[in-house]
Amino acid sequence: MKPVNIGLLGLGTVGSATVDLLLANAGDISDRIGRPVRVTHAAVRDPSKPRNCDLTGVEMVSDPSELVSHPDIDIVVELMGGTDLALQLCTQAVNAGKHLVTANKALIAEHGNELFAAAQASGVVVAYEAAVAGGIPIIKAIREGLAGNRINSVAGIINGTGNFILSEMRDKGRPFDDVLREAQELGYAEADPTFDVEGIDAAHKLTILASIAFGIPLNFPAVFTEGIGNLTAEDVSNAEKLGYRIKHLGIAEQTPQGVSLRVHPTLIPQSQLIANVHGVMNAVQVQSDAVGESLYYGAGAGGGPTGSAVVADILDIARALASAADQRMPSLGFLPERLKNLPLLAIEAIESAYYLRMQAADQPGVMAEVTGILGGLGISIEAIEQTEPAQHDTQATIIMLTHRVIEKQMVEALQQIEALETIEGAVTMIRVEHFNTRQSS
């Protein structure tokens, strides 16, 4: 049969790994889909630059517009990153009738709705497994494997850089800035680590997971995002002593009131599997009505894992080439006209338990003042500890765990507590989740 011809936009780490994987497993790939797959073109800034893959038979071009409209290319694979030029080229490709594979989470999260609409109008497929969690096939798991379930929540460690930092802070008691510098030296974090440590990267991925889980349009601006830069080794240590671990989670939850989309540091009981995902690894926990809790774990980045997801998407499209457009998997797993505009909850409306740490004057009556404020707003306390001040120190540290409460009530309580003359500075607040004890909504 006629080979499936691939055009690559970008030939960096993931692009090179994709080429290598297609060559190394060419026999198995052909056996799976009944025809060979070959990379025929690659668009790069400098075609003369040496590459870390075998480019025999690959035509190198410097003009990506030439590639996306080339008549011999069946599937365009976008691995260049960014959003502006990537969106322009990907739109051009689908308008030219090319199927599209991308690993670009920002592109899908921010512009996926329009890109999917353009693809539907042209009768082509946009596949994006590699955009979320690298080598973990989480898109397929939710969109296809759990298609018979109602998904109640998705919670994930979906940024390896942040997870590496928190793992090092816990294991070695190191401060955030020190571990971040090491992450940059090791290549886990960029020179500008904002996307990773502030949760923007995770928010892009969570936007995609929520849409395929709940059947809602992509809505990146609706994701509440809080980074890990303000976490201290003290909080990480306190969590451990209380039987918890702090993870930077992306959480999408469907409740009777609406959908919450949030990325923030979270205390999780040490007994839960997702709390034991360390280093740069990723994991996504899904709660659904029929299956219950399921956890998907693996490498979330890197050439091999991400290239694996890219190749899997290429093969899915290759199998679908002979099928009618209306018989193919919808981009988000739901028919486009059946997507639901569910209410999206502000962070003040979510319900969570909380970890609180505050510095208080070491004098009688302080604890009664604090607990009185919490009780007056209907916030019950699960655990409370007070550390004795060091010699000649007049400040004691109070640590509390609360039961679940609407966040608006907690914010009001903290405003009142911080206004007390006996409380110094701001109160540290970190949300607490117990996923496997939650009731299906």
Q: How far is CA 279 from the centre of its chain?
A: 16
Q: Which two tokens stand for residue 257?
A: 């009131």
Question: Is there a contact between 313 and 139 (Cβ–Cβ < 8 Å)?
Answer: no
Secondary structure E strands in 120-188: 126-127, 151-157
Residues designated as active site: 205
d(CA 183, CA 160): 10
Residues 160, 188: contact at Cβ < 8 Å? yes
Q: How far apart are CA 284 and CA 293, in angstroms?
A: 10
Tokens of 83: 């959003």
Closest among 69, 100, 209 to 153, alpha carbons compared:
209
Say if CB 185 and CB 191 are below 8 A apart. Answer: no
**Phi and psi angles of residue 125, each rounded to the nearest 5 degrees, phi first:** -105, 140
CA distances from 38 to 41, 162, 304 (A): 9, 36, 18
